[in-house]
Structure formats: structure tokens, C-alpha cells
């Protein structure tokens, strides 16, 4: 059973999506929904806390956004640019479902913006940071509703949502997930060392690197080094991967 999490800023944004999806009966697929509230910092805080307690195979970030000379029903984001620090994140395109667009991310509502042919929001950068830290495949899907100098039109948002083929979205995700090797259950190692939250994700990253580079039995490395402290174990594993 694959588990997908739809993430939105506001509960009313995700409600019509939930109503559409619940009528589908796609085998081996379970869909959950999470609202994180607006702005990057809320997205980072609430999504990180939620994913720390629950496991998912795929994330879908979907909600409304501003636009500048782009006005289709929905876009798939491939690049996020944080205006505050001028940093860029590239979103992995595990599968392409909709037209691609660049999303500029602000910390506050936008009055005007001179970049053409783009979408603008306040949460994509935070979402991508968290999804990447958990090494989860994902979509960032944006529904352009209001041009940056116009008032938000809730009815237009609901109309665009109604015209999106969410069955196609779910089926595309399922096809993507079926091509990804099954994740290893690492609880044995994580529980043995009782890793902290940050150490857990350092270990998962090192473990994946070990499998990719060494292509041999990690269990042997664990048995040889399991008496070390968790900090010493991580350092030894990191050094081993540089040899």
C-alpha cells in the first residue's frame, strides 16, 4: 500500500480536492491531507513535525498562488526561487503531469512583481526544503488564481479545482512509485542507537550513500561497529564512505 500526503496552506483549499479524490478507488493507494497554514516558516514547522511521526511515499504540495502572465488551471513547479535570500531550489520531476513553471517565493503578500511568465507564492521554498530533507519524491502543483495586483477570487479557485483531473494525478504518482525500489526498514539500526531527530536523517542519508557506493551488506558493517556510541558510529560510517 502506497501512502500519499496532499499538503495545502488552508483547510478550505484542500477540501474540494479531498471531495474529488474520495470518489476514486485506486488499489494500493491511501491518500491523506494536511493543512500547514500560510508562509514558509509555518510550512517548515508543521510539515517537519508531521513527517517526523508518519511515513509517506509521495508528497503533493497544492494550493493557490499569484501569477504574472500565466493563467492555466494548474502548473507543476520545477524551480523555486526565494526572493529574500536569492537562493534557488530545483524540484525533481519524478514524473511530468502539467506544464512546468518557475515559482518565486515571498515572505509577505506581493503588490507588484516585474518578472514575467511566473507564479508567486509564500510556501513552496519551505515545502521543498522539508521534502528534500526527508528524501521524499514530490509534486509542487500551483493553481494561479489572482494576478498580483488583483483581489483573491475564491470562486475562480474552486472553478479551476473542479477542472483538474486528480485521477490522472494519482495514477501518475502510482506509476512513478512502482518504478522506485522498495524502501529498506531501518528501524533496527535507528532504535539500536536511539538516534536524535537530526542524527536519524544523517544516518538515512549515509545509509543510502553506503548502498549506492559500496554495494555490499550493511548488516556486516553494523555488527562490527554496533558497540560504538551513536555519534562515533556516524563518524566512522562517514569516514568509511570517503575511503
Dihedral of the alpha carbons of 71, 147, 15, 7, in degrees to the nearest 10 = 90
Q: How confident is the model at residue 149 (pLDDT cuts 50, 70, 90)?
A: low
Q: Is CATH 3.40.190.10 what the domain over 2-178 is classified as, yes or no?
A: no
Instruction: Kindly state the average pLDDT of the residues 110-114.
Output: 80
Q: Which of 102, 99, 82 has the alpha carbon at shortest distance from 91?
A: 102
- Residue range 190-223, pLDDT digits in tens: 999 999 888 888 898 899 888 878 777 899 999 9
**Which residue stretches of 150-229 are H helix?**
154-162, 166-178, 187-193, 197-214, 218-225
**What's the rounded Cα separation, in Å, for the pair 16 and 21?**
9
Domain span(s) for CATH 3.40.50.1580 in the chain:
2-178
Is the Cβ–Cβ distance between 104 and 83 less than 8 Å? yes
Euclidean distance between CA atoms 193 and 133, whole angstroms: 21
Cell reading at 80: 523555486
Cell numbers at 7, concatenated = 499538503
Q: Are 103 and 120 in contact (CB under 8 A)?
A: yes
Amino acid at each position: 500500500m502506497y501512502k500519499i500526503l496532499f499538503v495545502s496552506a488552508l483547510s478550505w483549499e484542500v477540501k474540494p480536492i479531498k471531495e474529488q479524490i474520495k470518489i476514486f478507488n485506486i488499489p494500493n493507494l491511501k491518500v491523506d491531507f494536511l493543512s500547514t497554514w500560510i508562509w514558509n516558516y509555518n510550512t517548515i514547522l508543521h510539515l517537519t513535525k508531521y513527517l517526523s511521526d508518519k511515513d509517506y511515499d509521495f508528497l503533493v504540495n497544492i494550493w493557490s498562488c499569484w501569477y504574472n502572465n500565466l493563467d492555466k488551471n494548474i502548473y507543476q513547479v520545477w524551480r523555486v526561487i526565494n526572493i529574500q535570500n536569492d537562493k534557488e531550489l530545483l524540484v525533481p520531476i519524478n514524473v511530468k503531469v502539467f506544464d512546468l513553471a518557475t515559482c518565486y517565493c515571498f515572505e509577505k503578500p506581493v503588490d507588484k512583481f516585474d518578472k514575467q511568465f511566473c507564479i508567486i507564492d509564500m510556501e513552496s521554498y519551505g515545502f521543498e526544503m522539508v521534502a528534500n530533507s526527508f528524501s521524499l519524491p514530490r509534486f509542487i502543483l500551483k493553481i494561479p488564481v489572482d494576478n498580483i495586483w488583483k483581489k483573491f477570487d475564491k470562486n475562480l479557485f474552486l472553478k479551476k479545482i473542479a477542472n483538474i483531473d486528480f485521477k490522472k494525478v494519482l495514477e501518475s504518482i502510482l506509476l512513478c512509485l512502482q518504478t522506485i525500489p522498495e524502501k529498506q526498514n531501518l528501524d533496527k539500526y535507528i532504535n539500536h542507537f536511539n538516534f536524535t531527530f537530526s542524527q536519524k536523517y544523517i544516518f538515512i542519508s549515509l545509509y543510502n550513500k553506503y548502498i549506492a557506493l559500496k554495494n555490499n551488506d550493511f548488516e556486516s558493517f553494523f555488527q562490527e561497529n554496533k558497540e560504538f556510541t551513536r555519534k562515533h558510529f556516524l563518524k566512522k560510517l562517514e569516514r568509511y564512505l570517503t575511503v
